[in-house]
């Protein structure tokens, strides 16, 4: 049974910036934070077209936001830095991403950084997290923990409420599943309708009804769960995937290969239809998972390079090693020929000549550590 797709797109995106705020901006934030503490409410700072709501939170820094259609901004206090923490963290809001997408988020980021007078270069950016979600109207569906086929060792959590993180009684209606870890790779399947009602996020209802209207279908009546049950399938990728595995650093990297990262993640987890077959790998894939995969693949088609950066790096490094080995072999042949070494004695000559080469390396005025570092910086094939 096929579900109706009500929404698809990024639901979370977090960047960090290895930069400090200016002294003037710090003073404005400190004053606004103090005012927020005294008034028990946000203090709004205006920077041209950008409005920044500064809160009283942030023990050793400043917490602010640019509204529901903006982002949450965390600024380190340059006068009271937390060691090894990024100077700035930007966590884009779900509604910003739902309405503006990646391009809207990037434009908002650059507009704010200019307005706040923060100097930075692209190499100072880091991608910390990205979430992609698909909302499916499927009143007949209910998550089944046994239906998830995940890599060995992956933690799976079943919950029966928006804020609950553990399995309660087996008689309760299951409203969600989580598998994996946010820092690495996590799948979440949950009752989005319940979240919208409980947290009064009616903006999602507007988004869903717009999709239904475009399809010539009637709007949702959230009071009737049997006709308005919306399930969200969401894949979340953390820094271990985005930075370590896929080498994503800045906005251009995200635009170029974020699709590859999500495609790879979907290839490692499946939601199936359990059968009596003891081999879970042979279980048929659930129709909702087919839809989820198809939407992600289609939406992120232009954000794919089709190959992992680590695979490219490995291939380049292997090719360079083969090239250098061929050069070394050729040099040994030439050196042997000049020394009148016969073919029968060539391999013995190679073995004995290693000692002479080691002496030359030791006699060099530059240490082995320095020379290795210089070579690594030149090729950067890792």
Q: Give the pLDDT confidence of 253-273 residue by residue, as tens digits.
A: 999 999 999 999 999 999 999
Contacts of 109 (CB under 8 A, 6+ apart): 15, 71, 90, 251
Looking at 85-164, list the stretches that DSSP marks H as alpha helix, in order from N- to C-terminal side.
Answer: 94-116
Contact 283, 149 (CB under 8 A): yes
**What pLDDT band is residue 156 in, cutting at 50, 70 and 90?**
confident
Q: Summarize the confidence of residues 147-151 as an average pLDDT.
A: 87
Q: Is the pLDDT of residue 220 over 80?
A: yes
| Residue 325 burial class via C-beta count within 10 angstroms: exposed 0-12, middle 13-18, buried 19 and up | exposed
Q: Is the pLDDT of residue 139 over 90?
A: yes
How big is the chain by its Cα radius of gyration, in Å?
Answer: 28
Please report the pLDDT score of residue 175 as a whole number. Answer: 81
Give percent of the chain with pLDDT exceeding 70.
90
* Mean pLDDT for the chain overall: 88
* pTM (predicted TM-score): 0.77
Please report the pLDDT score of residue 94 as a whole number. Answer: 93
Please report the pLDDT score of residue 169 as a whole number. Answer: 27
Distance CA 42, CA 68 (A): 14
Please report the pLDDT score of residue 377 as a whole number. Answer: 65
Please report the pLDDT score of residue 171 as a whole number. Answer: 43
Please report the pLDDT score of residue 167 as a whole number. Answer: 38
Q: Summarize the confidence of residues 276-304 as an average pLDDT.
A: 90
Q: Is the pLDDT of residue 163 over 90?
A: no
**What pLDDT band is residue 168 in, cutting at 50, 70 and 90?**
very low
Element (DSSP H or E) covering residue 230 = strand 230-238
**Which is higher by pLDDT, 191 or 312?**
191
The least confident of 56-70, 203-217, 297-311 is 297-311
Contacts of 344 (CB under 8 A, 6+ apart): none
Residue pLDDT, tens place only, 299-354: 998 876 654 445 545 656 776 778 788 888 888 899 889 989 899 989 888 888 88
Q: What is the DSSP letter of 272?
A: B
Please report the pLDDT score of residue 310 as a whole number. Answer: 56
Please report the pLDDT score of residue 166 as a whole number. Answer: 40
Q: Summarize the confidence of residues 351-378 as an average pLDDT.
A: 81
């Amino acid at each position: 049974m096929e579900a109706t797709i009500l929404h698809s797109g990024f639901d979370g995106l977090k960047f960090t910036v290895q930069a400090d705020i200016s002294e003037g901006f710090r003073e404005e934030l400190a004053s606004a934070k103090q005012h927020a503490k005294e008034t028990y409410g946000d203090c709004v700072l205006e920077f041209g077209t950008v409005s920044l709501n500064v809160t009283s939170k942030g023990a050793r820094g400043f917490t602010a936001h640019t509204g529901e259609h903006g982002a949450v901004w965390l600024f380190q206090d340059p006068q009271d830095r937390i060691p090894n923490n990024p100077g700035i963290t930007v966590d884009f809001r779900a509604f910003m991403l739902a309405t503006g997408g990646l391009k809207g988020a990037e434009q908002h980021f650059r507009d704010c950084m200019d307005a706040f007078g923060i100097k930075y270069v692209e190499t100072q950016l880091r991608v910390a997290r990205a979430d992609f979600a698909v909302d499916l109207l499927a009143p007949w569906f209910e998550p089944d923990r046994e239906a998830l086929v995940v890599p060995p060792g992956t933690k799976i959590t079943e919950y029966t409420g928006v804020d609950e993180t553990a399995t309660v009684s087996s008689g309760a209606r299951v409203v969600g599943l989580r598998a994996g870890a946010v820092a690495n790779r996590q799948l979440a399947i949950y009752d989005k309708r319940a979240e919208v009602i409980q947290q009064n996020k009616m903006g999602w209802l507007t988004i869903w009804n717009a999709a239904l209207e475009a399809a010539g279908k009637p709007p949702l009546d959230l009071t009737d769960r049997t006709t308005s049950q919306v399930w969200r399938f969401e894949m979340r990728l953390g820094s271990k995937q985005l930075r370590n595995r896929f080498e994503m650093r800045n906005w251009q990297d995200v635009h170029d290969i974020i699709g590859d990262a999500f495609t790879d993640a979907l290839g490692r987890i499946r939601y199936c239809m359990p059968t009596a077959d003891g081999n879970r790998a042979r279980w048929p894939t659930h129709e909702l998972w087919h839809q989820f995969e198809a939407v992600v693949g289609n939406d992120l088609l232009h954000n794919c390079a089709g190959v992992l950066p680590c695979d490219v790096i490995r291939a380049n490094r292997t090719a360079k090693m083969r090239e250098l080995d061929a050069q070394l072999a050729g040099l040994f042949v030439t050196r042997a020929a000049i020394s009148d070494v016969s073919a029968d004695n060539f391999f013995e000559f190679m073995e004995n000549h290693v000692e002479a080469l080691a002496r030359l390396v030791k006699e060099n005025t530059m240490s082995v550590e320095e020379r290795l570092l210089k070579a690594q910086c030149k090729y950067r094939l890792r």
